[in-house]
Amino acid sequence: MRFVACLVIILIIPALVSAEVLASVDDMTLTWEDVVAMIGGEQNAQYLGITSEAAAIEVLQSWVREEIMVQAAENSGIESDPEVRNAIEQARRQILLEAYMSDAVDGMQPSRLEIENYMDEWLSTYKKSVHVRHIIVQDENLANSLLARIHAGSDFASLAQEYSIGPSGADGGDLGWITRGQSGYMTFDEAAFRLEDGEISEVTETGAGYHIIKAVESQLLSPEPSVEEIQQVVTIELTQVMQEEIIMDRVETLELNHDVVLYPERLIEHLQ
């Protein structure tokens, strides 16, 4: 049950005295306001699946049991265990990062004109799927070297098996059939979907590394997506790109206020 899953990961904040209490364990209380916060708003109340008193008791009892277990865990001193302490710290860092980034990109989205302009140029690429292979490496010089070898006649799949760091490397870089927006990187999609069948891309950089992409073959989607459906995908893609740019600009600005030193050779020593 979705409500129970939410209870597993959210700590209940003590309710205000004036709030109506739905359940309590000693001094800890659960109010309707707490429930609304957990499920992300009253509009999601329907997903609780409460249609009878028995169902209501089951949901409330799940919170009671969780609260009892949490208190038992706190009293046991298990938080002092190094693994538990590390997990809590990692969770804290992740929550802070997500909240900070969410705040940085709040309200950021492309304008209607930006969406329309992009669709004017790329509309046809959203109406087909492409069977692609790719090689991904972390070093741009290596990527350029591999591209030169491919143009000189080396087998794409063999080089992918030998050099690609992606999970598809073992399959010769085969990603199968993809559609626009599926890769998660707009620059990757733009490079892949502008290729003719059998054509090889230039070295293409994404947040994952440097790619060489081969379009094995392509076909039109059936049924053809509507303009409205394409617009939704374009909006999502452009929003992601804008948000990534905002976050990277923020990080680069923050880096100027810190003394950063890297020792890659030390890391490599540990990996050898």
Residues 204, 136: one domain? Answer: yes
- Mean pLDDT over 8-35 rounds to 72
Q: What percent of the chain has pLDDT over 90?
A: 84
For the cut 50, the answer to whether the pLDDT of residue 4 exceeds it is no
**CATH code of 166's domain:** 3.10.50.40
Within a domain: 89:
no
Within a domain: 137:
yes
Contact 217, 195 (CB under 8 A): no
For the cut 60, the answer to whether the pLDDT of residue 264 exceeds it is yes
Q: What is the pLDDT of residue 185?
A: 93
Q: What is the pLDDT of residue 10?
A: 39
- Mean pLDDT over 76-90 rounds to 95
Contact 186, 207 (CB under 8 A): no
Residues 65, 131: one domain? Answer: no
- Mean pLDDT over 19-46 rounds to 91
Contact 115, 238 (CB under 8 A): yes
Sheet strands side by side (includes 209-220): 174-178, 128-137, 209-220, 204-206
For the cut 50, the answer to whether the pLDDT of residue 3 exceeds it is no
Among 37, 53, 76, identify where a domain stops: 76
Burial of 173 (0-12, 13-18, 19+ CB in 10 A): buried
- What six digits make up the tokens of 189? 């999609």
Digit-coded pLDDT (tens) for 208-250: 999 999 999 999 999 999 999 999 999 999 999 999 999 999 9
Within a domain: 101:
no
For the cut 50, the answer to whether the pLDDT of residue 101 exceeds it is yes
Which residue range is the domain that position 23 belongs to?
Answer: 2-76
| pLDDT confidence band for 57 (50 / 70 / 90) | very high
Within a domain: 181:
yes
Within a domain: 32:
yes
Among 178, 205, 220, identify where a domain stops: 220
Within a domain: 243:
no
Within a domain: 266:
no
Residues 50, 128: one domain? Answer: no
The total domain count for the chain is: 2
- Mean pLDDT over 82-91 rounds to 96
Q: What is the pLDDT of residue 16?
A: 40
Residues 134, 213: one domain? Answer: yes
Burial of 189 (0-12, 13-18, 19+ CB in 10 A): buried
Within a domain: 97:
no
Residues 72, 128: one domain? Answer: no
- Mean pLDDT over 112-140 rounds to 96
Among 76, 111, 142, identify where a domain stops: 76
Q: What percent of the chain has pLDDT over 70?
A: 93
| pLDDT confidence band for 179 (50 / 70 / 90) | very high
What b/e string do you get for 223-234 counting C-beta neighbours within 10 Å, with b at 16 or more? Answer: eeeeeeebbebb
Give dist(CA 202, CA 151) in Å, integer: 11
Residues 48, 133: one domain? Answer: no
